[in-house]
A and B are shown apart, each in its own frame.
Chain A
């Protein structure tokens, strides 16, 4: 019998998961922030991202899912999540971004048959600032989905470790 782990390992090309990552993100933003994510223009280059939220996946699928955005985008997400004016947003930005990445990761894994039970999520880690290098131990290039949240770029990446 083919297990999910062997299925994941056998399928070195996970590009078929890109639409699932996008749908998982769209649902989180629609349900929790009442906001429709849109697609950026092909020529749009994402600016340096100031806020990065990462959630680890372990078990039948190992890797890291990250959500990156600008500081302004992160503040607006927090404002929308809490239903408070943008001016009232304070230190809860990291908490909000952590929850968003946690929900995107959880929603994504629940869309893959058999993975919901066999893959654990780590608590989110949030990095602020753009002057850093992230060295992934992933075996293949990450899956990236670029989207726009109220005009602010959002980059979602899934790095998969075998």
Chain B
């Protein structure tokens, strides 16, 4: 797999670091990692920095993850970029809502590096 650029969106800086570590443990070669604390910051980051993968929490201040995913359609740098949600909101309704907003994958917190791998690799390969 080619080296990729990832955007990690979570209001917890600790969780952003954990997600990055899990990606590396999954064997994903990260060329660049961008971080954002909410959806609005993520949009600003995307306008400046194209990425290959977005991992995003749902419950965040300012702009939540679902609203962020909806707004990606209007961002040229986000065209075709897969989004995987990582969140404590684990109900079926939340999964359906996230997928209908455009997310390609859904990981429930707490999670392991193996679970991140299982969800992210197929998405990167365009199989999800």
Chain A residues close to B by CB (< 8 Å): 27-28, 31-32, 78, 81-83, 92, 95-96, 98-99, 102-103, 105-107, 110, 116-117, 121, 123
Contacts and interface: CB of A to CB of B under 8 A. Distances in A.
A121 B88 contact: yes
Given A107-B88, A116-B94, A27 B14 contact: no
B59 interface: yes
Interface stretch (B42-50, B68-76, B108-116): B108-116
Q: Is the interface of B mostly helix, strand, loop or mixed?
A: loop
A32 B59 contact: no
Contacts of B88: 102-103, 105-107, 110, 121
Interface residues of B, number: 22
9 contacts: A32-B18, A32-B110, A81-B18, A95-B13, A103-B88, A103-B110, A107-B110, A110-B108, A117-B91
Given A105-B88, A123-B59, A92 B94 contact: no
A2 B90 CA distance: 23
Contacts of A117: 91-94
Interface of B: 11-15, 17-18, 21, 59, 61, 88-94, 108-112
Nearest to B21: A83
A92 B13 CA distance: 8
Nearest to B11: A123
A80 B11 CA distance: 20
A77 to B, nearest CB: 10
Nearest to A94: B14
